[in-house]
Structure 1
Amino acid sequence: MPKRIALDYDDRELRIVVANCNGSKVQVTDAQVIPIPENGSVSEKLRAYINSEGLQKTETLVTIGRGKAELRELQLPPVPDDELPDMVRFQAIRGFASASERAIVDFLVTRRTNENNTLIAAAVSPGDMDRVRELCKTSDLFPKRIALRPLSAASLYLRGQKTPPICVLIDLLNDDAEIVIARDGKVIFVRTVRLPSEARHRSGAIASELHRTMVACGETSTPDRIVVWGTESVHSGDIAAIKSTISCEDVQAVNPFDLVSLQIDRSALPEHIGRLAPLVGLLASDETAPETLIDFLNPRKKPEEEPDRVRRILMIAGPIAAVFLAGFFIYRQFAQWDRKIANATNEVNLLLPSAEAAQESIKRTETIDQFLDGDINWLDEIRRLAEKAPPSDKMIVRNISGTASIRGGGGTLRIVGAVTEPSVIDELEEALRDPTHGVVGKGSQEQKGQDTYAWTFTESVMISGETIRNTRYQRMAERIAEAESQAADDPPTAAEQPVSEETQSEAVQPEDQDSEDQDAPQQPSTPEQPSDENATDTAEVQA
C-alpha cells in the first residue's frame, strides 16, 4: 500500500499523521504532535522528523486553517456545473477582501435549488501557497493536496457515520475552535473562533461560541448531535458546558482513530488526538471523496474539451466543397440568384423597422417590469399573515413594517410580536415559508414579568422581485380572460342581427315605386340601433 503523510502546523506545534492508503483503506502507522519552541522553525522540525523516519519523496497532504484562507458563503443562480468555477472566481475577486486576480479559489456546493446554488467559497493568496510548497520542498516531500482543515475533519465523520438532520462538529486547537454545521450529512456552515488562553474559561467560551454559530447560520433549533473531536477524559468539561448551554443531550467525544485502522499502540497516541482529526479525514478522503474537500492545489476548473479530429476535417473539407458547388450553381443560375437576393433584401428591409420597434418595446416593457417588481401589495401580504399565523391566544403582533427594494425588486415584511412559548415561533415560520416567501428569524427572547406572551420575536418575510412579477402577470391574464368571457356573453348588436325576409321584400320594389320615391321629399332617418362602430365601443366599455 502506498504511504502518505498528512501534516498541519501553526506557531505552537507541528501535527503529523503517516498512513498506508489504498482506496478506502487507511492504516495509520504513526501520529505525532511536535511542539515548536518560541522563535523555532517549523521547517527544521519537519525535516528532522522526515529524515529520522526515512519518509523522503512521499506524497504529502497539507491542511490549512481559516487563518490563511478567506471563507465566504455565496448564493449564485442555477447554472451548469462547468460554468460554476468561472462564476465563483469572478464573485470571489469582487466580494472577498483579500482575493486578487492571482488568488487561488475553490468551492464546495452545499445546497442546490431551482432558485439558486448555495456554496462555500474559499480563497488563499499565492504567497501562502508558495510557503507551503517551500516547506515540503525543504523536507523532500511531494505536495499532493492543500486542503481546508475544517472540511477535512467533517468529511471523515459525515461519510462514515449515519448522522441526524442537524449535526455539529467541533475541533479544538490550541487557541482556536473550528465549528462545522452539517444538515442531512452535508456541510452548510463553517466558523473559526478564538478561545481564551486560560483553561478555566475555555469550556464556557466554547459553549457560547457554539450558540452564536447556530444563530449565525440561521439554525434556531437545537442540534440533534454535537461531536467534539477527542476523548471523553480530555474534553469532559467541554461536553458538560455544552450540554448545559445548548440543551442538547447527544454530545459525544469521538476519537478520529476509531474511524480508521491503527497499526500502532494506542498508548503512543498524543493526548489531544482531536487535533489530528483533519489529518485523518484528509487521508481517508484523498482517493474516495475528494469532492467533499476544498483543495487549493487542485481547485475546481472548467473542464477542457478535447479536440475532435473528425469534426475538424469536416469543418475544413465542408467549406471547400461548398465553394465548388456554389460556383457551379452561380455559373448556371447567376441571374436567378440575383433576383432571389434582391427579393430577400427587400423582405429584410421591410422587416427591419418592425424588428427594431419590437426590440424597443421589449426594452421598455422590461424597464417597466423592473420598476413594478418593487411595487408590493402589502395588503395581500398582511392578509396572508393573518390567515396563516397561529391564533391570538398563542401569538400577538405588535408591529408590522414593509420595505420594498426598488433596485432588485421584491421586499421584506418585518413582523415584531410576542408568543406564549418558543414552539409557536417555529409554527409561524413553517406556516409563512413557501417557495415564494423566505422567512428569517432573529431568535426569541423571554421577557421577565410577562404573564401570557412572555417570548418576543422578530421575523422577516422576504418576497422576491420574480414572485411579484409572476403574480402581476397572472392577474393580468385573469383579467383579460374575464373580459373576453364577458364580451362573448354580450347579446349581438343591431348591425350583426340577420335581415328578415319581410325586410328584404320591402327592399325590392317596382320601378314605378322607385320613381315615386325619387319624386317624394326625403325624410331624415332615425336609426333604432347604434352603428357597428358604436356597438363595438359599447361592448368594449362593458367588458
Structure 2
Amino acid sequence: MNQIFQSIPSLEQFQKTCQQWLDRVPLGNKTLGRRASPGLILDWQKDSLLLARALGSGTDAKLTAASVQPFGKLSDNRSVSAAEAVRSAVQHSGQKGDVTVLVARELVELRTLQLPFIDQDDLPDVIRFQAQRQFANLSDACAVDYVLLPPVPGQELQTALVAAMPPGLVNEIETACSAAGLNVAQIAFRPLEIVRLATQSQLVPAGGRSMIVCVADNEADLLLVRDGQVVMVRSTNLPHEDNPRKAALQAEVRRSLLAAASELGNQPIDQLLLVVAQEQEQDLVATLQPATRAAVVTFHPDILLPTSDRNLVHQAATRLTGMAGALSIPFVDAQAVSDFNNPNRRPPAQSHRRTWILSGAAAASIFLMGYFWYSSTLSGLKQEADGYRSEINSKKEIGQSAQNSLMELKEIEAFLGGAPNWLDELVYVADRMPGAEKIKLDYPSFAIVEGAGVLKFGVKADTSDSLADFEESVRDEQHIVSGAGGGELASGDQLYRWAADTTIRLTGRGWPLASATSSTPVSNDQSKATTEPSSETPASVVNPTSESNQAQPAGEGVTDASEADADDSEREPN
C-alpha cells in the first residue's frame, strides 16, 4: 500500500508538469509561454526602471516593495549601467524569479497600418513587410508585434497598431534581468496595459469612444480608445511651471483628438479618464473638461501602493497604472498582448511525414492488388480481344459494301432532289402567265445548276408592264424569278415590242427519293405522249388556254409548227 501512495505524484510535481505543458500549448500565432501570474513587474524607461512585487489584479492590485532606480549618466556625473540598476531593484524587493517587463512609448516606434483582410497565418509576414517600408529605423532583427484594432463600419481594410523595438534594447533588458536573477516572461507595451486596466476595471466603457490622460511629473501619456481598444498613443513632455503646464496639456489633448478623428469615426469622445495623483485632480479636471467637452472620470494610482510608498505617485503614476494592468496578462488572449519577447509569427509548418508514409503504404498496397488482378485477367482479355478482332475483320467488308451503297444512294437522292419535273414546271408557267396577246415565250432551256433546277425563257411582250406581270405571276417561294436584258425592240413584231431574258430558279421542286422509288412506272408510249409535244402545240407555249386562243386573231400569239421546229433545232433543251 505504501508503494502505491509513493507512486502518486505530489502536488508540486503535478503543478510543474502542468506548467511545462502550458509552455508548449500554441495559442493562435503565439505560444502560451509562461502564463502564471507574475510575481514581479518591471517598468523600463530610457533613463530609469521601476520594479515592484505584485499581488491581485485590476484596481484591487497591490504593488509592494516598489523602487525607482535611475541608470545611465546621473545628475552627480555618475554612470550606472542598466544591469546595476536592476540588481539594486531586486535587492530592494527581496524576490527573484519570473518578471514581466513593461516598456514606455518613448522606446518603441509605433504606427497604424492599413491592411487587406487576409488569412491570419499570413498577417505577421505582411505586417513586417509593410513596416519595413513605413517605419523609419526598422531592421530584420527588430522585434515587431501588433494588435488588430476594431473594424470601422464601411472600411474595406483592417487596421493594426504595430510596434517595433530595436534588437539591442531587447538584448539589454534580457541581459540585465538575467544577471540579477530574473527570468523575462514577457516584454509588454505599457500603453496597452493602461487601457487593459481601464477597460477591465470599467473605468472606461467597453463601447464608444474614450480618452485616457496619464500625468506624472513632467510627462503625459494620451491614449485614444474605441470599443475598448487603443487606436492612438501619444506621449509628451510638460513644462514644470503650473500655467504653461496646463496650457501645454490642453493643447496636446486637442491635437490628439484632431489626429485621431478618422479612427474615432469623426465623433466626439464620450468620456475622459484622468490618471493623476489625488492632490492634482481638481486643477487638471478644470483644465481638460473644456478641451474635450466630455465627462471626466479620475483614477488615483495611490490606491495601488502601501502608504509608505505613495510618494512615488507624483513621478510614477503612469508607470504604476501600467503595472497594475499587466497583472491581467495571464488571463487574456495572447493576441491582445503586444509581447516583444514572443511577437506574432507565422505558425510553424506542420509535419506531414506520417501522412505521407500512410499514403505511400496505401498506394503501394493498391498497386500490388491491381498488379495481381491485371496479371490474372490479362490472358482472358487477350483471348477475348482476338475473337473481337476476327469478328471485326469479317464485318469490315460488309460495312464497306454497305457504305458504298449508302454513298450511291445519297448521290441519287441529291440528284433527284435537284431534278424537277420539267413538264410540271411548264404547266405551272403556262397556267399563270398572261394571255398570248401580251406574252410570247421563246427558246426554253432546262438545266440543273448547283443542285437546283434552272428554267430560262426568251420573253416577248407588248409592254414593259406585261413583262413585269409575267415575272410576278410565276414568282413564289419555290420559283425565284430574275430578268435580264429587258428593253424595247427597235424593230420586229408589231405586237411584241418588248423583250427580256427570264430565269426561273426552282427550289424544293425535286423528286423525293421515297416518292421516286414508289411511283408507278409508265410505258414508253405513255412517256412519249407526255414528253413529246404535238405538232399542233408549239414548244414555246405550253398548254395555252382555249379561251386565250379563241380571243386572239389568227396568226397572233402562237407560232406555227415550222417556227417551233426551227426554234427547237437552234436551241436544244438541256
Settle same-fold status: TM greater than 0.5.
yes
Q: Within 5 Å, which residues of 2 pair with 1:213-362?
A: 213-218=256-261, 219=264, 220-248=266-294, 250-256=295-301, 258=303, 264-265=306-307, 268=310, 270-272=312-314, 273-275=316-318, 276-304=320-348, 306-307=350-351, 311-325=355-369, 327-328=371-372
Change (3 A) 1:3 1:516: closer
SS in 2 for 1:234: helix
Corresponding residue for residue 454 of structure 1: none
For residues 288 and 266 of structure 1, the distance between their equivalents in structure 2, rounded to whole angstroms, comes to 32
Corresponding residue for residue 86 of structure 2: 46
Q: Which residue of 410, 413, 428 corresponds with 1:517?
A: 428
Find out whether 1:91 has 2:130 as its counterpart: yes
Preserved CA contact (<8 Å) 2:38 2:327? no
Corresponding residue for residue 73 of structure 1: 112
Change (3 A) 1:298 1:40: same
Q: Within 5 Å, which residues of 2 pair with 1:22-33?
A: 26-33=61-68
SS in 2 for 1:98: coil
The count of residues paired between Structure 1 and Structure 2 equals 352
CA shift digits 1:63-117 (9 cap, x unpaired): 1123221111111111232222222122212222211222211100112367322
Corresponding residue for residue 158 of structure 2: 117
Letter in structure 1 aligned against 2:93: E
Preserved CA contact (<8 Å) 2:210 2:226? yes
Letter in structure 2 aligned against 1:81: Q
Change (3 A) 1:207 1:268: closer
Corresponding residue for residue 191 of structure 2: 150
For residues 254 and 216 of structure 2, the distance between their equivalents in structure 1, rounded to whole angstroms, comes to 19
Change (3 A) 1:302 1:23: farther
SS in 2 for 1:47: helix
Q: CA deviation at 1:239?
A: 2.4
Change (3 A) 1:268 1:25: closer
CA shift digits 1:278-310 (9 cap, x unpaired): 111112334345443211011122333554675
Q: Within 5 Å, which residues of 2 pair with 1:112-191?
A: 112=151, 115-161=156-202, 163=205, 165-191=208-234
Letter in structure 2 aligned against 1:159: Q
Preserved CA contact (<8 Å) 1:59 1:141? yes
Q: Which residue of 246, 258, 265 corresponds with 1:203?
A: 246
Change (3 A) 1:278 1:24: closer
Q: Within 5 Å, which residues of 2 pair with 1:388-427?
A: none
Q: CA deviation at 1:120?
A: 0.4
For residues 243 and 18 of structure 1, the distance between their equivalents in structure 2, rounded to whole angstroms, comes to 35
Letter in structure 2 aligned against 1:129: V
Change (3 A) 1:159 1:513: same
Larger Rg: 2
Letter in structure 1 aligned against 2:86: L
Q: Structure 2: any 5+ residue segments left out of the alignment?
A: 1-35, 382-419, 434-456, 458-469, 478-574
CA shift digits 1:366-420 (9 cap, x unpaired): xxxxxxxxxxxxxxxxxxxxxxxxxxxxxxxxxxxxxxxxxxxxxxxxxxxxxxx
For residues 40 and 287 of structure 1, the distance between their equivalents in structure 2, rounded to whole angstroms, comes to 39
For residues 20 and 246 of structure 1, the distance between their equivalents in structure 2, rounded to whole angstroms, comes to 35
For residues 265 and 166 of structure 1, the distance between their equivalents in structure 2, rounded to whole angstroms, comes to 34
Q: Structure 1: any 5+ residue segments left out of the alignment?
A: 337-508, 529-543
Preserved CA contact (<8 Å) 2:193 2:325? yes
Corresponding residue for residue 364 of structure 1: none
CA shift digits 1:197-217 (9 cap, x unpaired): 545422211111111111111
For residues 309 and 77 of structure 1, the distance between their equivalents in structure 2, rounded to whole angstroms, comes to 34
For residues 198 and 187 of structure 1, the distance between their equivalents in structure 2, rounded to whole angstroms, comes to 30
Letter in structure 2 aligned against 1:120: L
Normalised by the length of structure 2, the TM-score is 0.54
SS in 1 for 2:150: strand
SS in 2 for 1:59: strand
Change (3 A) 1:25 1:176: closer
Letter in structure 2 aligned against 1:122: A
CA shift digits 1:225-252 (9 cap, x unpaired): 111212331243332221232333x223
Give me the CA root mean square deviation: 3.6
Preserved CA contact (<8 Å) 1:7 1:16? yes
Q: CA deviation at 1:145?
A: 0.9
Corresponding residue for residue 407 of structure 2: none
For residues 95 and 250 of structure 2, the distance between their equivalents in structure 1, rounded to whole angstroms, comes to 40
SS in 1 for 2:162: strand
CA shift digits 1:113-161 (9 cap, x unpaired): 6732211011112111111112212322111111111111111111220
For residues 172 and 190 of structure 1, the distance between their equivalents in structure 2, rounded to whole angstroms, comes to 14
Letter in structure 1 aligned against 2:99: T
Preserved CA contact (<8 Å) 2:58 2:197? no
For residues 182 and 527 of structure 1, the distance between their equivalents in structure 2, rounded to whole angstroms, comes to 88
Letter in structure 2 aligned against 1:236: Q
Find out whether 1:103 has 2:142 as its counterpart: yes
Give the stretch that moved more between structures: 206-215 or 41-50: 41-50
Corresponding residue for residue 42 of structure 2: 7
Change (3 A) 1:138 1:217: same
Preserved CA contact (<8 Å) 1:24 1:284? no
